[in-house]
Amino acid sequence: MDKKDMRICIVGGGPAGLSAGMYLEQKGYENYTILERLDRVGGKCWSPTYNGKRYEMGAIMGVPSYYAVHDVEEFCGITHDGPQLNRNYKNKDGKVIEPFEPKKNILKIPRLLKMKKQLKEFGELLETKYKGYDINGHRGVAEGRYDGFACTPEREPVSGVNPNLKDLALPFNEFCKKNGVELIQDVWIGPFTAFGYGYFDEIPAGYVIKYLDFQTTMNFVKVNLWTWENGTQYIWECLNDKLKNPARLNSNIEKVERKDGKVYVTVNGKVEEYDKIIVTAPLYIPGTRTDGMKGMVDYFDVRDDEMALFKKIDYERYDVQAVLTKPEDHPEISYYVFDNMVPERLGHLMVYYRRWKETVDQVITTYALRKHRNTNEIPYEKVRQQVQDDLKTMGNPASEVINEWSVYYFPHVFSADYADGWYDKVEAMQGKYDTYYAGEIMAFGDMDETAEYSRELVERFF
């Protein structure tokens, strides 16, 4: 079938879906349709406006190794022109601390020196023992191999065998212990757990170090960050405007049937016919969500092999509040609270962000987790209040909550299923039912990894 004739449906208008449209378009596919359930594009890149300035309810920043995001910038003719971010640290009692400054932590000097040594060792281990660890996606890892595109601006294709990659199925804390670098978790926890991606005793190392590969982590450490004045959502709004076929908003997909080599999508009461479908929206959501979000298995003619795999997916319960403070209570900078980034402090404030340093008439955004795989889910309202109580403890009490979001976040599988080759089994089904699976679960739940996976999917199959 000629590229221009193939009718392709893309489910989801977030970074993964819009990027899929861009990469398809660049390869000559013009007959694609992007269906978005919401009245906006961007997915978890959501940047509402308050007092004339945009603030972040989802993704906040990027780094120079976000190559797929840079593809989008170049395609749209935009750049990262936002405010410079910085941060400080507090303990759970609200006292300002400097955990990585030896002169301020005399008693911790031996630990800090040991951590510095382990950090160097870890960088070397990743490049040697775990060669291939930073390839986008998880294809082949459980089999001890890597196959994909290098984490470089050129993204040249690479492949190879490395049995040590099987270690990436271990929970990250066990992975670090096995390699004698337990203290590097002090560095990785900030941009991982605080950003809502779970705890190191439950999440496979593959997720942690593919998202936070060594160069990305060092960019976070050095605060070498990208932001966008009009928010991360602006990136995807610009891309949507630039595409030949912008996303169709408010598209409620009621049913998808795949038969006789065609895909029939019932959207807003009408049946549309396609040749292929790319799913970048959630594949499976356990339970029922109050926001109406559904998993693919709830509206597709799901097959047994799809259901058997997708029902193993779990996700993080990650809550965001946008709050106002009195001018005298506005924090002078963003703060991380490391004490609250452990399962024992589940439901507490982990980080709160001040985006615009030149004004105090803007919002502060707060972030908390309320589920660990070994605990019951804490009710939303309880965590909501706990975060506000924590802000008082921090000395920055909220005067008003102007926005809040309990988002379906970071779909993933746990170590046993990761080691059992969950990803290879799903990858083996790509195209099987004229269906392709993309989005967060296939790589990682940040905007660059999902966009990069869409690029790879298009390269491989279209």
Q: How far is CA 134 from CA 129, 173, 213, 257, in A?
A: 12, 18, 6, 36
How far apart (Å, rounded) are the C-alpha atoms in residues 109 and 310?
Answer: 47
> What per-residue confidence (pLDDT) applies to 334?
97
Q: Read off the pLDDT of each residue in 393-399 and give the average, rounded to a whole number.
A: 98
- For residue 105, pLDDT beyond 80: no
- For residue 106, pLDDT beyond 90: no
Q: Are strands 276-279 and 435-437 parallel, antiparallel or unpaired?
A: parallel
Q: Read off the pLDDT of each residue in 160-184 and give the average, rounded to a whole number.
A: 98
> What residues does each domain of the chain span?
8-82+228-313+413-461, 98-221, 316-410
> What kind of fold does domain 316-410 have according to CATH?
Alpha-Beta Plaits (3.30.70)
> What per-residue confidence (pLDDT) applies to 220?
94
The pLDDT mean for the chain works out to 96
pLDDT digits (tens, 9 = 90+) for 330-385: 999 999 999 999 999 999 999 999 999 999 999 999 999 999 999 999 999 999 99
Instruction: Taking the CA atoms of 10, 81, 222 and 131 in sequence, report the sign of the dihedral they define.
Output: positive
- For the purposes of burial, counting CB atoms within 10 Å of the CB of 195, is it exposed (0-12), middle (13-18) or buried (19 or more)? buried
Q: Read off the pLDDT of each residue in 408-420 and give the average, rounded to a whole number.
A: 98
**3-state DSSP assignment of residue 443:** coil
Q: Read off the pLDDT of each residue in 86-103 and give the average, rounded to a whole number.
A: 92
- For residue 1, pLDDT beyond 80: no
> What per-residue confidence (pLDDT) applies to 102?
80
In percent, how much of the chain has pLDDT > 70? 100
> What per-residue confidence (pLDDT) applies to 182?
98
Tell me the helices (H) and strands (E) count for the chain, helix number first.
13, 18
Strand partners, 452: none
Q: Please enumerate in sequence order all residues whose Cβ is within 8 A of that of 332, keeping only pairs 6 or more positions apart, or say none.
A: 354
**Tokens standing for residue 144:** 């001890």
Q: Read off the pLDDT of each residue in 400-415 and give the average, rounded to a whole number.
A: 97
Cα end-to-end distance, the chain, whole Å:
11
Neighbours of 173 (CB within 10 A): 17
Apex 458 CA angle, 455 and 462, nearest 5:
165
pLDDT digits (tens, 9 = 90+) for 229-264: 999 999 999 999 999 999 999 999 999 999 999 999
> What kind of fold does domain 8-82+228-313+413-461 have according to CATH?
FAD/NAD(P)-binding domain (3.50.50)
> What kind of fold does domain 98-221 have according to CATH?
Guanine Nucleotide Dissociation Inhibitor; domain 1 (1.10.405)
- For residue 2, pLDDT beyond 90: no
In 125-162, which positions are buried (b, 16+ CB within 10 angstroms) versus exposed (e)? bbeeebbbbbbbbbbbbbebbbbbbebeeebeeeeeeb
Instruction: Taking the CA atoms of 425, 426, 431 and 434 in sequence, report the sign of the dihedral they define.
Output: positive
Q: For residue 355, which of 404, 392, 400, 322 has the smallest C-alpha distance? A: 322
- For residue 104, pLDDT beyond 90: no
> What per-residue confidence (pLDDT) applies to 139?
96
- For residue 4, pLDDT beyond 90: no
Apex 72 CA angle, 66 and 74, nearest 5:
100
> What per-residue confidence (pLDDT) applies to 73?
98
